[in-house]
Amino acid sequence: MDPQQVFAIGQQGLMLLLTVSAPLLLTVLVVGLLVSVFQAATQLHEATLSFVPKLIAAVAVLAIAGPWMLTSIVEYLQRTLQSIPTIVG
């Protein structure tokens, strides 16, 4: 196994990580930004007001995109584990 193969596997893993986590992170980021603008406009600074919408948005994204995320991760793991004999041998 040469270093190029190790870097290729690592790069694929990192790209999968970015691809799978992007919908959740972007949604929570947008909701947090909207709540912050709302809080600044109304001068209403309640801790739960910033937490609850983010939590609801995160659960909604996981409910919608969760199966795709899980399928992507399982496919990557299957490809990686099935390629072990060709890499080692």
Residue 89 lies in a domain: no
Give Rg (Cα) of the chain: 19
Domain-located, residue 62: yes
C-beta neighbour count of 3 within 10 angstroms: 7
Residue type for 72, please? S
Model confidence over 1-46: pLDDT tens digits? 788 888 998 999 999 999 999 999 999 999 999 999 998 898 888 8
pTM for the complete prediction?
0.80
Determine the Cα–Cα distance for residues 64 and 52; give it in Å rounded to an integer: 18
- Residue 6 has φ and ψ, to the nearest 5°, of -65, -45
Indicate the pLDDT class of residue 84, thresholds 50, 70 and 90. Answer: confident
Identify whether 54 is part of a domain.
yes
In a domain, 41, yes or no: yes
pLDDT at 46: 82
If pLDDT is split at 50, 70 and 90, which confidence band does 89 have?
low
The set of residues, in sequence order, having a beta carbon less than 8 Å from that of 9 and lying 6+ positions away, is: 80
pLDDT value at residue 20? 96
Domain count within the chain: 1
Task: Indicate the residue type of 78.
Answer: Q
